[in-house]
Copies of this chain bind each other. A is one copy, B any other.
């Protein structure tokens, strides 16, 4: 057996463990009864420790050294070695007891967060969240030393390989300068038009679910390799060839759950479209979270809020709920789906104000990790940022700093990828539509195959063959910048719209 073959076999076993963890995490969030939390935390911690042990196996360094000299490796095999080395370097930065302590702290904090959020009780979460933050800082420090990065950039690197906060600072400060004024302008424009008439509910959960399933099929989701379920915080998770998405339903308003399903379906199409031949290998994984989020936002924001899609979807929605009257016309639905307003909740935010919610979180988590903001001051700092960036202040922490699961669940460094993803989505969708002018007209007929075919070829099937900038340059002609995103917002929401 060659060294590269030995590495593939070994990382195939790592993937088998990761897939187990993925399903257990899904179960934790979707199915698990409350009283099982302690038992599950033990199982998750144990599996993380075992995976960590496998990923830091003493033989890996030798295999990597030997494989570097192997002749006859193709580009995928070479990229697989590069990715294997990258994740091995990160993984060996952490001692096993830190991994286990972090996994346990996260399980405890997530469980506590559910109650604290319901009670708008930030103080009640403080001890558990402080423990998670402390351990994230230690993890960032340990990885940063190994990689020559600041603790925050080292955490960011887990989600966005090669991502750097100085580059994000520049992109986000640009947007932070643009968005408040643009938001004001859009709100003024929309205030001069009549509001779209109300959609009269209730919209029963089962009918919403059926509509979601139907739209998932339209987008090309493979139900033989996934499921749709319900969880508090919608996500796309599971395992290789078992890509499960979740949503949450509000019987008074079907439109949010539907767009949530379309968003998660975008993630799922990426996961389902990864290359089968390298599905369980490092090079077969998705290329970072900004590309991942670009695939969900490309579906949710670029494709499914287009006039073409809404014209196709309006009669499907009417049929799903027996809707009649002007509220159910495509034009009303389009106005509803492109309505801009200043709100408290990130996941309910519109396309224009969403980046502000992200920039706020990015600034705060960077300061918390750098120990420049005491955790106890988070609620006040949150509200200050909301005032500056969004223009409203939440009445309590349930609608403020307790709304997201990311920090309790140890996802520090994740938030910026949402807005990097939005910019990337605009750039990719623009390139796809220029490459194949049939994409938008086909969407108008409920046919996503030209779009998904292009994405399969240029993004999904590429896995981690290329680094992010290279992937984007190959797909769109250049690395990420904000210009297409801004142009998209001006075109959809600005004066001329």
Q: Interface on A for B, CB 8 Å cutoff?
A: 12-13, 15-17, 19-20, 23-24, 27, 31-36, 38-40, 42-43, 45-47, 50, 222-227, 238-242, 280
Contact = CB atoms under 8 A, between A and B. Distances in A.
Contact of A242 (B20, B35, B226): B35
Given A35-B242, A36-B225, 18 more contacts: A12-B42, A16-B46, A17-B50, A19-B39, A20-B47, A23-B23, A23-B43, A32-B242, A33-B224, A33-B227, A34-B224, A35-B241, A36-B241, A39-B239, A39-B240, A39-B242, A43-B239, A50-B50
A40 to B, nearest CB: 7
Given A42-B19, A43-B19, A45-B16, A242 B33 contact: yes
Contacts of A23: 23-24, 27, 40, 43
A33 B239 contact: no
18 contacts: A16-B43, A17-B47, A19-B42, A20-B46, A23-B23, A23-B24, A23-B27, A23-B43, A24-B24, A33-B224, A33-B227, A34-B224, A35-B222, A35-B224, A35-B225, A35-B242, A36-B240, A38-B241
A41 to B, nearest CB: 9
A147 B280 CA distance: 40
Contacts of A46: 13, 16-17, 20
A35 B50 CA distance: 26
Number of copies: 2
A97 to B, nearest CB: 14
A320 B34 CA distance: 28
A94 to B, nearest CB: 19
Contacts of A239: 36, 39-40, 43
A204 to B, nearest CB: 13
Contacts of A38: 241
